[in-house]
Chains A and B, each alone.
Chain A
Amino acid sequence: MTPEPDPLEPLLDAAGRSTQPADPAWDHLPQRLAQTPQQRRRRRLWWLAPPAAAAAAAVVFLALWRFTPPVQADSPPIEVKRLDVDLTVLGAADQDEATLYMPLLRLGPFTVGGAPLTPRRTGQALVKDHRLILNLQKGDNVVRFSDVAATIDPTSVRFVSTTDPVGTQVIEQNFEYDLVNADALLHRYIDKEITCVGRDGRETTGYLTAHDPENVVLASAPPDPARQKPRETQVLPRRTLQAIRLKEVPADLLVKPTLVWKLHADKPGQHDTTVSYLCGFVKWSADYVALVTPGVAGQPDLLDLTGWVTLNNESGTTYEKAGLKLIAGDVNRVRDPWAPLLPQAWGHALPSSGPWGGRGGGVPKELVEKSFFEYHLYTLTAPTTVRDQETKQLKLLGQTGVKAQRRYVFDPYRDGSQNLAVELVARNEKENHLGVPLPKGRITFEEIDADGEAAVTGHTEIDHTPVKEELTLRHGHAFDVVGEFKQVDPTHFEMRLRNHKTTDVQVRAVGRIQLGQKVAESSLPFVMHDATTAHFDFPLRANAQQVIRYTIEGKPEIPGAIP
């Protein structure tokens, strides 16, 4: 009789299979082990214990009796533990250049997290790292502060000990970024003995004299400063080698970029500290989806507006459970004078924000908006982990039933002499189901087609739009409303607008003049939008034509010229 199989064991096996390592830090464990010194084996010298104890007691007694020196305990190593981190990301500017001093990027082709880091819009973020420093000694200490962004601007580092703000000061700071890689490692072995293993398994041992991507040069003997003994050298092409064997990794080579401080502390022990710094290659942008429901019988169109924040982190480190803040607005930046000038094309290489589908699961965290100086600050209500080489998307807003008027704009200097652009104009007000500051970003238009599916009908971009301002969404060009523009003579202009639709439309014709000129006469009332732009707003009936004639006068000014 076969015993009934026990269902418990497969259940336990399945639980074991579901717990596989997922933390990328496992990949760095070998380096961490290589840098961790091992304790020495204790010898079993039991018989020495009683006399040693007696001798030690005698010494202590004598010391206490005769002298009063400071007791120097065997100090435990200084440890730095991360408590939490805040990340404030500035919106990426249109013409973003290297505005931070990021020394690691000057080393040439550099990879963060395995991906090549090519020059493009850098973005920047302020990192506020809250850490506990344990076992500080009174006086000067050397503190190694790792897990900082690879793109850190070391000139922006600010350190504060909340335990003893006055008595704890950074005397000296070094940013160490001589990271372990094959070339850096090999370079440390110049004039040292290494072994090259050929593809045929033959081993060649010698003293490394030089190396480049093609060859390794070995000498038969160590360098002789007196040059009395000639050295034989051998050039080994690297393509013929299967391995190069080195003795050990030099202790001063780092696995990750590290800030090394000489820190003076008046108060020994544990210090609660906050370190803030700027880093590059963290950026965010706003993306919106506007689902347009066309209005019928002269009613305005309705928009369902959904906004997403796309956050991109390529700074070379992960921010675990970070408090996230985003600043919207064009923050002034000063270009790093040492940064190489990038080709213009790189400045527009925006990272793809990924497909729109698949977001339906909803994001449980919300971005809360507040005013901040002359900008707007969006704070995520709960911490989030921002991983290195990650694009994260967070919901910014979801407004429905936003009324938008359709406007046909004839701007021949911008769109050509025939086309009328279609704009959806909505007031950014609470009464219109909106009333939130909208950061600059891209808008994707969608419309429900005959099958009831949402179809993409275009894209546009909006600028930062404050509350109570007009949100203008440019939505392609009209088919049935056309225009003509004609310069009759140097001062007389004529625009003809024709509506071939079966409904009335609202039209704006844009007249351009130069500085120093003005519109002297016009056949329709107009409003000067700015010094060089006149707006003629009027309704255009179905199957009707409107002619606008205007005359300009005055001599154009040359901007900047001294009158």
Chain B
Amino acid sequence: MRAVTLTDREIACRAGEGDVPAFVQFVGRYRAPLISYVYGLTGQRDDAEEMAQEAFCRAWEKLPTLRQPQRLVSFLYRIAHNLAVSEGRRPRPVTLPAEPAADPPRDDPGADVHRAVAHLSDEHRVVVSLRHFAGLSHEEIARALGVPAGTVRSRLSRAYDRLRPLLAHLLED
């Protein structure tokens, strides 16, 4: 059993050599924010989980080609983003309506928030996702994305400015 908590960079190095448990630790750390991120992009809760798993698998597969291990999180989000975009373009087979339970309820504020976050630009969406869906500090986000902490703060601030009008109906309550 692994008791040591590894940094993202250490995970990238170890997983690049085929260390599955190290990468599993990474999965545990980022799966919830990644699901939220993909959910925002696709609007499909179930698909988001499936796509997040696929993104982790692809990241694992291509990990040895990652030249900057400190950029592992950006790498993962980029893969997830590409997957969500290509999935959106793919023609889907015509199916009967899905189960009602699979769709978010109309009055679900969480669904509204994810839809609003999906309207942000890529770099803003990533910082919001890491800050609020993964619970990382500004410094941790900075390390994960390989940018200064000040940049993280300014991106967050701009993201909030864009989100406020989109979520005005929830903020007024």
Cβ of A364 under 8 Å from chain B? yes
Residues of B within 8 A of A321 (CB): 95, 98-99
Residue from A19, A32, A41 within 8 A of B57 (CB atoms): A32
* Interface membership of A26, Cβ < 8 A: yes
B128: contacting residue among A12, A14, A18, A30, CB under 8 A:
A12
B110 located at the interface, meaning its Cβ lies under 8 Å from any Cβ of chain A in the complex: yes
- Which residue of chain B is the closest to A16 with respect to CB atoms? B133
In the complex, A23 Cα to B16 Cα: how many Å? 26
CB distance from A36 to the nearest CB of B (A): 5
The A-contacting residues of B in range 53-83, CB under 8 angstroms, are 53, 56-57, 60-65
User: Would B36 and A16 count as touching, CB distance under 8 A?
Assistant: yes
Known: A16-B133, A384-B99. A8 touches B163 (CB 8 A): yes
A383 interface neighbour in B45, B53, B56, B98, Cβ under 8 Å: B98
Q: Residues 6-28 of chain A: 1 if any B CB is under 8 Å from the residue's CB, otherwise 0?
A: 11110111111011111101100
Residue contact B62 to A23, C-beta cutoff 8 Å: no
> Is A182 interfacial (CB 8 A cutoff)?
no
Q: What are 18 of the A-B contact pairs (CB < 8 Å)?
A: A8-B164, A12-B132, A14-B109, A16-B32, A18-B110, A19-B36, A20-B35, A22-B49, A23-B46, A23-B53, A25-B49, A25-B50, A29-B24, A30-B20, A33-B57, A38-B61, A323-B96, A383-B97
Taken residue by residue from 37 to 57, chain B's Cβ proximity to chain A (1 for < 8 Å, 0 otherwise) reads as 001000001101110010011
**Bound complex: CA A385 to CA B97 (Å):** 12
CB distance from B100 to the nearest CB of A (A): 6
* A15 touching B64 in the complex, CB below 8 Å, given contacts A29-B24, A30-B24, A385-B99: no
From B16, B18, B50, B171, A7 is in contact (CB under 8 Å) with: B171
Cα distance A115–B123 when bound, in Å?
Answer: 45
Q: Is A39 an interface residue (CB 8 A)?
A: yes
Which residues from 104 to 157 on chain A have a C-beta closer than 8 Å to any C-beta of chain B?
none
In the complex with contacts A26-B53, A30-B24, A39-B64, A83-B93 CB distance below 8 A: yes
Docked complex Cα distance between A385 and B170 (Å): 32
For window 12-45 of B, CB contacts with A under 8 Å fall at: 16, 18, 20-21, 23-24, 27, 31-33, 35-36, 39, 45
User: Would B135 and A16 count as touching, CB distance under 8 A?
Assistant: yes
Are A383 and B95 in touch, CB under 8 angstroms? Answer: yes
Partner of A8, one of B35, B56, B95, B171: B171
Given contacts A12-B113, A15-B110, A23-B50, could you give 7 more A-B pairs where the C-beta distance is less than 8 Å?
A: A16-B132, A16-B133, A20-B35, A21-B49, A33-B24, A39-B65, A41-B16
Q: Would A38 and B60 be within 8 Å (CB), given that A8-B171, A18-B110 are in contact?
A: yes
A56 at the interface (CB under 8 A from B): no
- Name the interface residues of A249-291: CB closer than 8 Å to any CB of B: none
Contact surface of B with A, Cβ cutoff 8 Å? 16, 18, 20-21, 23-24, 27, 31-33, 35-36, 39, 45-46, 48-50, 53, 56-57, 60-65, 93, 95-100, 102, 109-110, 113-114, 117, 128, 131-135, 160, 163-164, 167, 170-171
Residues in B whose Cβ lies below 8 Å from that of A55? none
User: A81 to chain B: closest CB distance in Å?
Assistant: 10
A11 contacts B171, C-beta separation under 8 Å: yes
Bound form: Cα–Cα A14–B27 in Å: 21
CB contacts (< 8 Å) of A41 on chain B: these are 16, 64-65
| A41–B171 CA distance with the chains assembled, in angstroms | 49
A42 at the interface (CB under 8 A from B): yes
Query: Smallest distance from the beta carbon of B3 to chain A beta carbons, Å?
Result: 13
Q: Which of A9, A34, A36, A364 contacts B132 (CB 8 A)?
A: A9
A40–B109 alpha-carbon span in the complex (Å): 44
Contact call B95/A84, Cβ cutoff below 8 A: yes
Give, as a whole number of angstroms, the nearest-CB distance from B49 to chain A.
Answer: 4
The 10 closest A-B pairs by CB, nearest first: A16-B133, A15-B113, A12-B132, A18-B110, A23-B49, A19-B36, A41-B64, A15-B110, A16-B132, A83-B93
In the bound complex, do residue B110 and residue A26 qualify as a contact, i.e. CB atoms below 8 Å apart?
no
- Is A382 engaged at the interface, CB distance under 8 Å to the other chain? yes
Complex Cα distance, B112 from A284, in Å, reads 39
Question: With A14-B110, A38-B61 known to touch, is A33 a contact of B167 (CB < 8 Å)?
Answer: no
Alpha-carbon gap, A382 to B36, bound state (A): 28
Residue of B nearest to A382 (CB): B96
Task: Say whether A343 faces chain B, with CB atoms less than 8 Å apart.
Answer: no
- The answer to whether A559 has its CB under 8 Å from any CB of chain B is no
Decide: B61 and A39 in contact? CB cutoff 8 A: yes
